[in-house]
Amino acid sequence: MLTEYQWIKDSIGKEDGGNLLLEWLDNARNHDESVLFICGAGLSMTGATPAPSGWHVGEAYENYLRTKGIDIPSEKSGDISKLYEYFCYPEVKGIKVFSNEKHNEFIDAITSRNHLFRFSGRPNFQHHSLLNEVLEAKGNIRIYSLNLDEFFDVASIFSENGPHNLVVNGANLKEEPISNRIFRDWKILAAHGKNIKNEQSVWSENILVNSMDDEVPKHLLAEKQIITKAIECIKQGPYFEKVIFVGVAAPLTYLINDLKEKLTENFQWAWFNPFKPPQEWLINSDLEKTFNETNGVWVETGLTECLWNAHSTFYQRWLSTSCNENITDIPLLQKYSNESHKKTLVESIYRARRIYDKGLQSFVENKKNPEFLSEISDSRDVYSYPQMLTGNRYEDSNLGESLHKLFLSRIELSRSPSENFPELTVANKISDSAPISAHIFKFNSLVPENEVAIGIARTFDGVFINSNHRHIIIIDVQLYNIENLIRAVETEVTRRFPSDYKYIDVTTADQLDMYLDSHDFSLPPERARRP
């Protein structure tokens, strides 16, 4: 017999939650552990285009019904699953049947532009970040989404790491045989379908709160078919060492019995929710208490804060490894040690790594799309993790080391350039008498020298190069005659800015120490100085 339950174990906050998340994600990427995210409405309720909670959806639908003069039974009011089942399955000759017309009216009512929330639009940080984790982990991280929005779809379309068809719509699996590889190979599953006209999705209470073994009314068989195929994805998926619940509120009784059969013996789980502890429907979901206080933890904060903390810790380690210094001995990191500055640090490094990786090769693309440089410069979205090479070095450790050296010369990491700095500036010194901008690019031997030179010069377009502003271009290149490239850059910059080219210096990552030691950056460039 199951008894009433109340969570007693102390919760953890965003710092410990971030460390736990970093460890679990790292193990998935690098140590072949499988992680399952089960995501509810709380995942999508932040960002530029927040999705609605179940309460918001219910309110919108009830408002629509009232404007039509339709009476709402008191026992249905306030619960969207009850409202949907009652109104979208009207009785016809004494038998409840699905009404596509009522379903479409429901979709219209909850997606009206009069609401503050959306089911599609710009994804938030959590969508971008989790999508990237799925890609990086190569199948070891799966997302079982309860949401009917399209934010993961949009994040997938705009992902720089591809592929762009990662999201499986559960409603599209109804007619698929279970021998289809998609039931084994899925990565992100919209388990309840999508909020789309003329396509059924799972809203009804009778489906969500009952076991899969329970019979459901005949009129709900189509919804149950969607859930049955979603469960088949769990059955054919990997065994999971970790399960993470994010923003889940409504009971998922239908899921737990089959899920527990896919958990390893020593699995662990986490419940990310800033408002409510793990719920009784989960803890008391079975007599064995598969999910309990011993193997689980309540993270009493949102996933967003923990992700920022996890990424901040990762990039602190990245800089430490790149510079071969302790974290506490890197002044750049001390500037961003304050809790409120961690997001700025991470976004700045995302941007610097994107420019470092894609800057030079983007010059070719820029000829076809003049807005491409601006897109790279403006983007602070999640970027792929750096790969570790032999010798305890990352593939872009030269970037981290260069940012550290520049900071020691008071040329600081930039989150975005001001109007007086070239678009691809990654570090700068703001000064009235001797301002400095620095660019750091990884050299791509497939891009011709003249294209590189033209591209670098083009980043200065629209920027007023005044006589006391020094620009430093650092190119990370190995086993290459860099002098040819430097001459090409100087020639092109001279052609475009005949009176100002002397204020643009080109050097390499391995010669940066020598360059910095030979200049006094408290003073403007020599030609700009007055006798």
Of 396, 424, 411, 397, give the one whose Cα is nearest residue 516: 411
Asked whether residue 277 is domain-assigned, the answer is: yes
Q: What dihedral angle (degrees, nearest 10) is formed by the CA atoms of 498, 502, 506, 507?
A: 160
**How confident is the model at residue 372, as a pLDDT?**
73
Say whether pLDDT at 53 is over 60: yes
For residue 248, give the CATH number of its domain. 3.40.50.1220
| Interatomic CA distance for residues 43 and 246, integer angstroms | 6
**How confident is the model at residue 331, as a pLDDT?**
95
Asked whether residue 237 is domain-assigned, the answer is: yes
- How does pLDDT run across 202-239, given as a tens digit for each residue? 998 888 888 888 888 999 999 999 999 999 999 999 99
Average pLDDT, stretch 341-353? Answer: 93
- How does pLDDT run across 293-324, given as a tens digit for each residue? 999 999 999 999 999 999 999 999 999 999 99
Strand partners, 12: 299
Q: What percent of the chain has pLDDT over 90?
A: 57
Number of domains the chain contains: 4
| Interatomic CA distance for residues 360 and 349, integer angstroms | 18
Answer with the one of 275, 307, 339 that is the final residue of a domain: 307
128 and 268 part of one domain: yes
Residues 6+ apart with CB under 8 A from 385: 29, 136, 314
Asked whether residue 116 is domain-assigned, the answer is: no
Answer with the one of 111, 136, 159 that is the final residue of a domain: 111
Average pLDDT, stretch 365-370? Answer: 62
pTM of the predicted structure, to 2 decimals = 0.91
- How does pLDDT run across 97-148, given as a tens digit for each residue? 999 999 999 998 888 766 667 788 889 999 999 999 999 999 999 999 999 8
213 and 86 part of one domain: no
Q: What percent of the chain has pLDDT over 70?
A: 93
| Interatomic CA distance for residues 133 and 138, integer angstroms | 9
271 and 159 part of one domain: yes
Give the Å distances, CA to CA, from 253 to 8, 225, 274, 276, 415: 22, 16, 22, 18, 45
8-state DSSP, 371: T
79 and 126 part of one domain: no
288 and 362 part of one domain: no
Return the H-helix or E-strand segment holding 388.
strand 388-389
Opening angle at CA 281, ends 278 and 282, nearest 5: 55
As a whole number, the mean pLDDT across the chain is: 88
Asked whether residue 249 is domain-assigned, the answer is: yes
**How confident is the model at residue 370, as a pLDDT?**
65
83 and 189 part of one domain: no
- Asked if residues 322 and 404 have their Cβ atoms less than 8 Å apart, the reply is yes
Q: Read out DSSP for 441-484?
A: EE--TTS-HHHHHHHHHHTTTT----TT-EEEEEEE--SS-HHH
**How confident is the model at residue 528, as a pLDDT?**
44
Q: Which two tokens stand for residue 354?
A: 């994107």
- How does pLDDT run across 272-298, given as a tens digit for each residue? 999 999 999 999 888 888 999 999 999
**How confident is the model at residue 422, as a pLDDT?**
84
pLDDT band at 480 (very low <50, low <70, confident <90, very high): low
107 and 141 part of one domain: no
Say which amino acid occupies 491: T
Asked whether residue 387 is domain-assigned, the answer is: no
21 and 162 part of one domain: yes
The region of weakest confidence among 187-201, 244-258, 302-316, 349-363 is 349-363
**Which residue has better confidence, 149 or 467?**
149
pLDDT band at 363 (very low <50, low <70, confident <90, very high): low
Q: Domain span at residue 71?
A: 54-111
196 and 216 part of one domain: yes
